[in-house]
Amino acid sequence: MTQASGASAPAVQAALQALWHPGAVRDPYPGYEAVRSLSSGGVLPLLEWNAVFVTGHAANSALLRSPAARSGAWLAGAPGDTDALRLLKPMMLFHDGAAHARLRGLVQAAFTPRVVAEQRELVRALLAELLSALPNDTETDLVANLAAPLPARVIMHMLGLGGDDEARFIRWTQSVADLLGGADRSPELMGRIEADAREMRAYFRDLADELRAQPRPGLLSALAAAEDGGERLSSDELLSNAVLLLAAGHETTSNLIPGGLLELSRQPAAWAALVAQPEHPNVADELLRIVSPVQYDGRTLAEPVSLPGVTLPAGLHVQLLLGAANRDPEVFPEPGCINWERPNSARHLAFAAGAHYCLGASLARLEIRETFAALATRFPGLTVTDPNPPFKANPVLRGVSTLKVHLNGPV
Ligand code: HEM
């Protein structure tokens, strides 16, 4: 194996084993530290693999912002013509340059700051409804009863989708997450993903046709009408980007809520500080930093990129370890500690950076802030009763599938 870093082959093997072993989804941090320890400037190029692993905050940030680092290359070259690929290809996430700017501009025109700010009352009302339904005297699963339905209902409401289909939408977003980051590639799962992709395409295509003929309130009608220099989203672009909003708006936030609570259960002083000041302005960003619901991002270099001390050649596959960057000790001292007073939490890369910076960041921050303020205010005695909850088999969109808690009631 050729390493630009000078690390020995056995050391690299050991680090990659730590990164990829089956238990790593539960605790990826030792693997990240193993890779970081072999890196120079936060970068570990493995030229024989045509890959580079990036753990450093500065290097991640520079690569995310580099126009030479492309998002769409892997998908453009993906073999086969499946419904899953047909669903992914028109998503803005997998376009670069002018094609990306056009798609993003059309969606952003409908996803305005005013539209997002208007969701505050909805989020508060949904929280009040969901939290009131939780039992005070027995154990309850906070994923099924809060973290999954809350973001799903918010984004469904914004898109103008009917509430009757909630269970189906949650299943679909799970399939998109499994497709984008799942470790399981069994024929059974791939068959389910393909069937769901077919259903999603048919559902959103019919709906878009309906909305073009007869607009109704909601983001989807606005998307159907959004124009850029006289150009509109095609039918495929509209349906794929609606699915992207649904999936991105749901899976990430629904992983952050239990992920944040699990971390807080291990750091009781931080929970006590939150109870003392539930509206602390740093809560969303410090939780985003510590949890990093998107642990990995990926790019392909269309041209060589120079970073301090190393030039990465064109064609390299770039593994951006966002979860490692968010715990880079050079930027975030005592990186594993939740510290609401940290002056630079907002420098996290949980929403990435550059052209693909999360379009829903302000909505996500709003949901996180409101959720943790409501939990800390209403349930200061909240206890996580299963300290080792099961994780989904998805190292990229990392999160638990259940989180058992006892609310202990308001004090
Ligand atoms: C993009 C994270 C919530 C919509 C991204 C990216 C990340 C991210 C890392 C960049 C992906 C890349 O570079 O390839 C998160 C996290 C969230 C969250 C951690 C919550 C905790 C949301 C919400 C929405 C949303 C609530 C919308 C309702 C999008 C969209 C993109 C995106 C549309 C694609 C942007 C583009 O390609 O230009 N998100 N996201 N996200 N996110 Fe989020």
249-261 pLDDT, tens per residue?
899 999 999 999 9
Predicted TM-score (pTM) of the model is 0.95
What is the token pair recorded at 39? Answer: 């890196």
**pLDDT at 411 > cutoff 50:** no
CA 36 – ligand 1 centroid, Å:
25
Question: Whose C-alpha lies nearest to ligand 1, atom 17?
Answer: 252
Residue 298 CA: nearest ligand 1 atom is 14
pLDDT reported for residue 123: 97
Give a yes or no: residue 411 inside a domain. no
Please report whether residue 148 resides in a domain.
yes
Whether the predicted pLDDT of 143 surpasses 60: yes
The Å distance, Cα 153 to ligand 1 centre, comes to 17
Residue 277 falls within a domain, yes or no?
A: yes
Q: Considering only 108-112, 181-185, 332-336, 342-346, which range has the smallest mean pLDDT?
A: 181-185
38 pLDDT band, cuts 50/70/90, is: very high
Give the C-alpha separation, 381 to 271, whole Å.
10
Long-range contacts of 129-133 (CB under 8 A, 24+ apart): 131/374, 131/375, 131/378, 131/379
- The band of 136, judged by pLDDT with boundaries at 50, 70 and 90, is confident
pLDDT in the model for residue 354: 98
Domain range for residue 250? 9-406
Per-residue pLDDT, 2? 40
Of 160-164, 256-260, 304-308, 396-400, the poorest mean pLDDT is in 160-164
Average pLDDT score over residue span 353-375: 97
Of 161, 299, 357, 358, the one to substitute when testing ligand 1's pocket (max ligand atoms within 8 A of C-beta) is: 358
**Is pLDDT of 24 > 70?**
yes
Judging by DSSP bridges, how do beta strands 51-54 and 317-321 pair with one another?
Answer: parallel
Give the Å distance between the CA of 130 and the centre of ligand 1: 25
Lowest mean pLDDT among 84-88, 206-210, 252-256: 206-210
Q: What is the pLDDT of residues 89-100, one digit of tens each?
A: 999 999 999 999
pLDDT above 50 (res 410): no
pLDDT band at 233 (very low <50, low <70, confident <90, very high): confident
Q: Of 188, 154, 156, 182, whose CA–CA distance to 169 is shortest?
A: 156
Q: Which atom of ligand 1 is nearest to the CA of 292?
A: 19
DSSP-assigned states of every residue in 279-312? T-TTHHHHHHHHH-SB-EEEEEESS-EEETTEEE
Closest-lying ligand 1 atom to the alpha carbon of residue 91: 37
Query: By C-alpha distance, which of 86, 294, 83 is closest to 192?
Result: 83
Is 3 part of any domain?
Answer: no
- Measure 107 CA to ligand 1 centroid, in angstroms: 13
What average pLDDT does this structure show over 364-389?
Answer: 96
The residues, any chain, with a CB within 8 Å of residue 146's CB and separated by 6 or more, are 130, 131, 134, 257, 371
Domains: count for the chain: 1
> What is the predicted pLDDT for the residue at 266?
97
Whole-complex ipTM: 0.99
Model confidence band, residue 228 (pLDDT cutoffs 50, 70, 90): low
- The SS3 of residue 206 is helix
Number of Cα atoms under 13 Å in the Cβ half of residue 241: 32
Q: pLDDT tier at 409 (50, 70, 90 boundaries)?
A: low
Please choose from 252, 368, 396 the residue to mutate so as to test ligand 1's pocket, defined by most ligand atoms within 8 A of CB: 252
**pLDDT band at residue 4, thresholds of 50, 70 and 90?**
low
pLDDT of residue 96: 96
Residue whose C-alpha is closest to residue 382's, from 292, 257, 209, 246: 257
Measure 5 CA to ligand 1 centroid, in angstroms.
Answer: 32
Give the CATH number of the domain where residue 322 resides: 1.10.630.10
Pocket lined around ligand 1, Cβ cut-off 6 Å: 71, 92-93, 104, 155, 244-245, 248-249, 252-253, 256, 293-294, 297, 350-352, 356, 358-360, 363-364
Ligand 1, atom 7, lies closest to the CA of: 351
Of the two residues 43 and 163, the one the predictor is more confident about is 43
Average pLDDT, the chain: 92
- Residue whose Cα lies nearest atom 41 of ligand 1: it is 360
DSSP label of 294 = B
- Does the structure show a pLDDT above 90 at 109? no
pLDDT at position 5, please? 62
Short-list 375, 294, 322, CA closest to 132: 375
Q: Check whether 380 has a pLDDT greater than 70.
A: yes
Nearest CA to ligand 1 atom 12: 356
Who wins on pLDDT, 37 or 7? 37
